[in-house]
Structure 1
Amino acid sequence: MALVDQLRLMVITDPVLLKGRDAVAVCRAAVTGGATMIQVRWKDGSPADVLQMTRSLVAALPVPILVNDRADIALAAGAAGVHLGWEDPPLDSLRPHMPADFLLGISVGTPDEAARASASSADYWSIGPCFATPNKSDAGPPLGLEGFAALARLAPEGVPVIGIGGITAANASAIVDAGAAGVAVIGAVLSAADPESAARGLRGAVSRV
């Protein structure tokens, strides 16, 4: 599957929103509903716990699994790649040490970050926050559709972008219209009573465009 198709609907884990539910079961339901990629994001989890969760997801699910921040854990778990922020080790310092097909994604939220990302070998950009979100305490002010589109236009040719932050089934198609290959969500799926149905609604929204 091409990267642009793998990025259609990324679901990001958050142990707080899981509220004791099994991560594998919730993510399996999301994949059944149409999620095309899972990102393991557990900011305060111990390396051992993050590794265990990642290995479990890699073994259980037929879609690519990424790890937030920790390339070492991604490699150890056999994950497909890592998603980095600007406080993490420089992306291009990691690239020579990774397998050829290892995905390296980067967060972009400002024109300055877009310029730096353009100069890197990032495989994809995650642009946001598109809209207001309670699920990322470190997120900047919402970009809105115009702000998202402006940053998306700065991506090098061949580098797909996805939208993140406040994404719902009601606004996901607008983000794709604005230049995204897909969307990344946390609460829209993890907070749903029925993660499979929530993922199906989101996948339908991004696939209609």
Structure 2
Amino acid sequence: MNHDMTLYLVTEESVPLNSLLKVVSQAIQGGVTIVQLREKNSSGKKFYEKAKALKKLLDSYDIPLIINDRIDIAIAINAAGVHIGQTDLPLEIVKRMVPKQFIIGVSAGTLEEAKNAERDGATYIGVGSVFPTGTKGDAKLLPHGVLEEITKAVSIPVVAIGGIALANVDTLQHTGIAGVAVVSAIMKANKPTLVAEKFLEKIKQ
């Protein structure tokens, strides 16, 4: 099953639920194709409630919801999939736990991590950080040329992430990526619909 990863929105934890739903809804109207709920500090209950509310909204638009890290919550709300990092549960274990049709994204910062993710059965790979980012303090900047190396070496979709903004997204053209993951540029925009539209225009040029 091929999912459209062109414009991948990752949520900002600090945004309260009502605002979150509003921003996501506007961003989808602008062309966001898939959404990941990322909560690093929320309690399980709060994360679950947020996920449930967001899933309901996304279902109405027929947009897949990916849950970051929390496999239990992804299964509990029947999300479309889960995204895991290099320090989370190993991919082969995750595959045993989730339904067969689950999308499983894996973060990779090196060619080796990307190849391993493909070998172990990831649906797509999130590669970054492609630009300096304020969202993830510990994110390492990807050395020049590694993104292209990864897209050439694997056959599953690669989504670029990290510091992606309207001002720099053009530089990712011709890298072979399936899409870009955006956090702050859309989540903190005054007009999320407009910003999402502009991202799509630039990506599809």
- The answer for unaligned runs of 5 or more in structure 2 is none
Secondary structure at the counterpart of residue 11 of structure 1 = strand
TM-score, normalised via structure 2 length: 0.92
Could you say which residue in structure 1 is the equivalent of 2:69?
69
Number of aligned residues: 202
Where do 4+ consecutive residues of structure 1 move more than 3 Å? none
Partner of 2:148: 149
Whether the 8 Å contact between 1:10 and 1:185 is mirrored in structure 2 is yes
The alpha-carbon deviation at position 206 of structure 1 amounts to: 1.5
Q: What letter corresponds to residue 9 of structure 2 in structure 1?
A: V
Letter in 2 for 1:13: T
Cα separation, 2, equivalents of 1:198 and 1:38: 15
- Aligned partner of 1:186 in structure 2 is 183
Aligned to 1:34: 31
Identity of aligned residues (%): 33
Show the 5 A alignment for 1:155-174. Answer: 155=154, 157=155, 159-174=156-171
Q: Secondary structure at the match of 1:22?
A: helix
Secondary structure of 1:43's aligned partner: coil
Cα pair 2:123 2:157 within 8 Å, conserved: yes
Residues 38 and 68, structure 2, Cα contact 8 Å, conserved in 1: yes
Within-5 A mapping of 1:114-133 = 114-133=114-133
Structure-2 separation of matches of 1:176 and 1:75 = 35
- 3-state SS of paired residue (2:180): strand
- Tell me how large the CA RMSD over aligned residues is: 1.7
Match of 1:53 among 26, 50, 68: 50
CA contact (8 A) 1:67 1:83 kept: yes
SS at match of 2:105: strand
- Give the conservation status (yes or no) of the 8 Å contact 1:176–1:182: no
Structure 1 counterpart SS, 2:23: helix
CA deviation after TM superposition for structure 1 residue 20, in Å:
7.5
- In structure 1, the residue corresponding to 2:147 is in which secondary structure? helix
Letter in 2 for 1:207: K
Return the TM-score normalized by structure 1: 0.90
CA offsets, 1:152-202, max 9 Å, x none? 2222x2x11010011122332432420101100101101211111111111
Q: Flag the 1:99–1:19 CA change in 2: closer, same or farther, 3 A.
A: closer
Tell me, yes or no, if the aligned pair for 2:55 and 2:79 is still in contact at 8 Å. yes
Say if 2:196 is the partner of 1:206.
Answer: no
Contact kept? 2:91, 2:117, Cα under 8 Å: no
Counterpart of 2:12 (choices 11, 14, 20) is 14
Measured against aligned partners, the alpha-carbon deviations of 1:132-157 in whole angstroms (never above 9, x if no partner) come to 1111112112434x2211122222x2
